[in-house]
Amino acid sequence: MTLFPDAIDAMMGQSIIGRAQARGLVTITAHQIREYTTNKQMQVDDYPYGGGRGAVMQADPLYRCWDHICQEAGERVHTIYLSPCGRVFDQQVAKELKAAYERLILVCGHYEGVDQRFIDECVDEEISMGDFVLTGGEIPAMALADCLCRMVPGVLPEESCYTDESHWDGLLEYPQYSRPEEWHGRKVPEVLLSGHHGKVDDWRKKESYKRTMTRRPDLFARFDEASLTTKHDRKVLAEAKAEWAAEQESPAAE
């Protein structure tokens, strides 16, 4: 639900998500809220009660749009309002939504916000992209949709395309390299050229641990080490911690 459907269609019709839609794996429909107004001006906003700057999106056009979508779906669709007041979106929230719902309505606010009465009556939850404010909900809605759609079977070539990435298991992804082997004097780590899959896997795990410890210690503090069920995995983690500690003490780390 948006005031700028062309922006949604232009972005979500490209690349991986665009191809997924063309193949019928996912469907993203941008509904123009102005089409559900009852006045010739197609007005969707008005001054806020109590005074203040800006305008507030009115409840009635939003409700009419929302009701039309639910009637088309034949059910009350789980509805998310993209708002800086909501719970912060992350990969775990994405997994929860993907597992729980086949359909979602994403409400893109604008101006100074949305009439609270529409939120109280129609919105099931509010979700935020972080502790900052944008001019509208379109960018957050597209980010959420992209994140969920790429987990739909068939959208990416393999499940590992998203399970091996940052945040899936609470860690940051390891560094990636491509050709040539040397660029501007910087070489690809030798282990990645070895052809030894076991050593490559261990290196990637260790680099993932070390990168998370360095860049997101808050994430690493929440990492469940009990999830490592094999002696080898626990050894790799211990080696990563030792290497990370040594790197912090080296002159290059200062």
Pick out the residues of the known binding site: 109, 129-134
Strand-strand pairing, 125-128 and 105-108: unpaired
Helix/strand/coil percent split, the chain, to 5: 50, 15, 40
The label of the residue with tokens 């990563």 reads: 240
Give the count of beta carbons closer than 10 Å to the beta carbon of residue 94: 20
Q: How far is CA 170 from CA 35, 39, 218, in A?
A: 42, 49, 10
Kindly state the tokens that stand for 133: 């404010």
Question: 87 phi and psi, to 5 degrees?
Answer: -70, 150
SS3 for 215? helix
24: left (phi over 0), alpha (psi -120 to 50) or beta: left
Which helix (H) or strand (E) element contains residue 72? helix 59-73
Annotated binding site for S-adenosyl-L-methionine: 109, 129-134
CB 1 within 8 A of CB 69: yes
Residue 126, beta-bridge partner list: 81
Q: Is the dihedral of CA 167, 171, 172, 174 positive or negative?
A: negative
CA-closest candidate to residue 127, choices 108, 150, 114: 108
